[in-house]
Amino acid sequence: MRTFLKKHFKKLIYLSITFLLIIVSINFYIVQVTKEYIQTDYTKLPNVDAIIVLGAKVHEDRLSYVLESRLVGGINCMLQNKANAILLSGDHGQKNYDEVNSMRKYILRRKFPIRKEQIFMDHAGFDTYDSMYRALHIFGIKSAIIVTQDFHINRSVYIARSLGIKAYGLAIDESMYKYHLQLNWKIREYVTRVKAFKDVLINAQPTFLGEKIPISGNGLKSWDTIKSVKK
């Protein structure tokens, strides 16, 4: 092993540097091509077909602070009449774990002036790419405001625009979270942006597709009577 390392040490160094440069370049590219479409003030965003709120951790029906912040941002966009529909996209792949219904219940419990038929649910938004692909191909969304935290927003807008959605981003402030959490998100995002770039490049398919539910129609058609999308 030592002989191999000595013999190929320079090659390994060059390969490591090349790999690092690829990661940095992809991250730089994704941030640069999306930054003009991102705002922190929802009043500055244009009117669109739908608001897309991306799922995050829930504890039974209780939203994590991360997800609650996203959902409140999406609700504010709806209350500003930025769209006539809100798409709640998240992980409902298990019977006892349900991000989308937890978001729906949050909206209804607090009696926001959003009609039930305006609330659309994507139960198979298992990752950001799946959410955006399904937003286009299942819900027929042509333009959208995507709501998520700052660390995640560039990748979300990049995927959506690469797939053909005229997407804008509402970046939710994350400065209230502990430094180690913010650092962990940013490090992980460096890797997931590379995956997003690859998924777009190869036109990856989502985990599930299914019946079309036009965003211009009735959101109640997307509400589930079955408890999860997986058997």
Give residue-wise pLDDT tens across range 174-220.
988 888 889 999 999 999 999 999 999 999 999 999 999 999 999 99
**Residue 150 burial (CB < 10 Å; 0-12/13-18/19+)?**
middle
Choosing among 3.40.50.300, 3.40.190.10, 3.40.50.620, 3.30.505.10, the CATH entry for 2-222 is: 3.40.50.620
Global confidence as pTM? 0.91
Neighbours of 64 (CB within 10 A): 15
Is pLDDT of 229 > 60? Answer: no
> Token match 């609650």: residue?
68
**Longest alpha-carbon distance in the chain:** 70
**Continuous segment of H or E residues that includes residue 198:** helix 179-202
> Token match 């997407």: residue?
167
What the block records as the tokens of 119 is 């609330």
CA angle at 174 for the pair 173 and 179, rounded to the nearest 5°? 150
Q: How confident is the model at residue 2 (pLDDT cuts 50, 70, 90)?
A: low
- Rg, C-alpha atoms of the chain: 19
Q: Distance between CA 137 and CA 12 in Å, rounded?
A: 43
